[in-house]
Structure 1
Amino acid sequence: MATQYGIKFAVHLISNHFGNVVSKVCENLFHRGPLTLDQLIHYTELTKEQVKNSLLVLVQHNCAQPFVPDDDDVNNLKVRTQYVALFDNIIHRLRFPKFLETVSQRLDEECAELLDGLLRDGRLTLKQMVDRASQGKENAVDSKVVRELLCKLLTARFVERCPAPEPVVSTSFKETTIRKRGAKSAKIFVAPKTLEQCVLEAAVPRDAIRFSLTADMGLNVDEEKNSDDAQMNSVEENVAEEEQILWRANFEEFIRHLRHKVLIENVRTQHDDGTAVVLRAVLEATKTVEKKVKMQNSVPLSLDTITTEVMKTDIGRAFTIDRIRASLSQLGCSGSSIIDDSYSIDLKKIIEQARNEEVESIMLKRYGKDAYRMFRLLSKDSSFLDTDKIAACTLVEPKKASKFLHQLWNDNYLHKETVTGVMVGKPSNIFLWKVNQPLLWINVLDEMYHAALNLSIRMAYEQEKNEELLNVPKDKLKEPGPLQKKYKRLQNVWLLLGASLMKLDDALMLFHDF
Structure 2
Amino acid sequence: MVTQHGIKLAVQLISSHFGDLVAKVCECLLRKGILTLQEVVRHTKLNPQNVTKCLLVLIQHNCVQAFRMEQQGGFGEASKVLVQYMVLFENILHRMRFPKFLVIVSEELGKECEMVLEGLLQHGRLTLHQIFERANKSNKNEAQDAIRESFIRLVNARYVERCPAHEPFLVPPTEEETTARKRGAKSAKIVEELETIEQRAIAAAAPMEAKRFLVITDTGTDVKGENNGDNSPSVTVGVKRKHGASEMDGELGALEFEEKVTWRPNFEEFVRRLRHKACIANVRSRLDDGSAVVLSSVLEATRTAEKKVKTEHSVPISLNTIYEEVMKSEAGRTMTLDHVRASLVNLGCGKRGTDELYSIDLKNIIELAQNDEVESIVLKRYGKEAYRMFRLLSNTSRLLETDKISEITFVEKKDTAKILYKLWKDEYLQMEKLLLPASRQSHFLLWKVNKNTLWEHVLDEMYHASLNLSQRVAYELEQENEVCLWKTHLLGYFSFELILISLCFFLVNYFGEL
TM range (shorter): 0.7 to 0.9
Partner of 1:368: 383
SS of residue matched to 2:348: coil
Q: What do you get for the CA RMSD once the two structures are aligned?
A: 2.8
Partner of 1:457: 471
- Do the aligned partners of 1:68 and 1:82 also contact (CA within 8 Å) in 2? yes
Q: Deviations over 1:94-133 (max 9, x none)?
A: 0000000011111111001000000000000011111111
Q: Deviations over 1:181-233 (max 9, x none)?
A: xxxxxx9x967544333221111011110111129989xxxxxxx98222222
Residues 126-135 or 195-204, more deviating: 195-204
SS of residue matched to 2:427: coil
1:47 aligns with 2:47: yes
- Do the aligned partners of 1:265 and 1:276 also contact (CA within 8 Å) in 2? yes
Work out the CA distance in 2 between the residues paired with 1:159 and 1:357.
34
Partner of 1:252: 268
Partner of 1:214: 216
Indicate how the Cα distance of structure 1 residues 136 and 350 shifts in structure 2: closer, same or farther if over 3 A, else same.
closer
Match of 1:133 among 135, 139, 153: 135
**What TM-score results when the alignment is normalised by the length of structure 1?**
0.83
- Do the aligned partners of 1:36 and 1:82 also contact (CA within 8 Å) in 2? yes
Q: How does 1:311-326 map to 2 (within 5 A)?
A: 311-326=327-342
Work out the CA distance in 2 between the residues paired with 1:430 and 1:136.
70
How far off is 1:171 after superposition? 5.9
1:153 aligns with 2:148: no
How far off is 1:257 after superposition? 0.4
How far off is 1:136 after superposition? 4.8
Work out the CA distance in 2 between the residues paired with 1:368 and 1:80.
55
Match of 2:313 among 297, 309, 313: 297
Indicate how the Cα distance of structure 1 residues 81 and 159 shifts in structure 2: closer, same or farther if over 3 A, else same.
same
- Do the aligned partners of 1:125 and 1:247 also contact (CA within 8 Å) in 2? yes
1:407 aligns with 2:407: no
Indicate how the Cα distance of structure 1 residues 339 and 10 shifts in structure 2: closer, same or farther if over 3 A, else same.
farther
Work out the CA distance in 2 between the residues paired with 1:162 and 1:350.
33
Larger radius of gyration: 2
The answer to which structure, 1 or 2, has the higher relative contact order (CA under 8 A, 6+ apart) is 1
- Do the aligned partners of 2:70 and 2:81 also contact (CA within 8 Å) in 1? no
Partner of 1:236: 252
Q: How does 1:108-123 map to 2 (within 5 A)?
A: 108-123=110-125
Indicate how the Cα distance of structure 1 residues 442 and 460 shifts in structure 2: closer, same or farther if over 3 A, else same.
same
Partner of 2:32: 32
| One-letter amino acid of the structure 2 residue matched with residue 452 of structure 1 | S
How far off is 1:23 after superposition? 0.4
Partner of 1:144: 145
Indicate how the Cα distance of structure 1 residues 94 and 194 shifts in structure 2: closer, same or farther if over 3 A, else same.
farther
**What TM-score results when the alignment is normalised by the length of structure 2?**
0.83
Indicate how the Cα distance of structure 1 residues 21 and 253 shifts in structure 2: closer, same or farther if over 3 A, else same.
same
Q: How does 1:13-412 map to 2 (within 5 A)?
A: 13-71=13-71, 78-138=80-140, 142-170=143-171, 172=173, 193-214=195-216, 228-334=244-350, 340-412=355-427
Q: Deviations over 1:136-164 (max 9, x none)?
A: 5556x544332221111111000000001
Indicate how the Cα distance of structure 1 residues 261 and 473 shifts in structure 2: closer, same or farther if over 3 A, else same.
farther
Match of 2:440 among 414, 426, 429: 426
- Do the aligned partners of 2:12 and 2:23 also contact (CA within 8 Å) in 1? yes
User: Could you list the runs of 5+ residues in structure 1 that have no partner in the other structure?
Assistant: 180-186, 219-225, 478-514
How far off is 1:236 after superposition? 1.8
User: Could you list the runs of 5+ residues in structure 2 that have no partner in the other structure?
Assistant: 224-241, 492-514
Partner of 1:7: 7
Q: Deviations over 1:241-269 (max 9, x none)?
A: 11111000000000000000001111000
- Do the aligned partners of 2:71 and 2:81 also contact (CA within 8 Å) in 1? no
Work out the CA distance in 1 between the residues paired with 2:307 and 2:487.
51
Indicate how the Cα distance of structure 1 residues 472 and 406 shifts in structure 2: closer, same or farther if over 3 A, else same.
same
Indicate how the Cα distance of structure 1 residues 267 and 29 shifts in structure 2: closer, same or farther if over 3 A, else same.
same
Partner of 2:226: none
How far off is 1:473 after superposition? 9.6
SS of residue matched to 1:311: helix
Q: How does 1:493-508 map to 2 (within 5 A)?
A: none
- Do the aligned partners of 1:285 and 1:309 also contact (CA within 8 Å) in 2? yes
Indicate how the Cα distance of structure 1 residues 252 and 472 shifts in structure 2: closer, same or farther if over 3 A, else same.
farther
Work out the CA distance in 1 between the residues paired with 2:381 and 2:181.
31
Partner of 2:504: none
| One-letter amino acid of the structure 1 residue matched with residue 379 of structure 2 | L
- Do the aligned partners of 2:393 and 2:400 also contact (CA within 8 Å) in 1? yes
Work out the CA distance in 2 between the residues paired with 1:190 and 1:137.
51
How far off is 1:77 after superposition? 8.8
SS of residue matched to 1:283: helix
* Matched length: 455
SS of residue matched to 1:81: strand
| One-letter amino acid of the structure 1 residue matched with residue 103 of structure 2 | E
- Do the aligned partners of 2:11 and 2:26 also contact (CA within 8 Å) in 1? yes
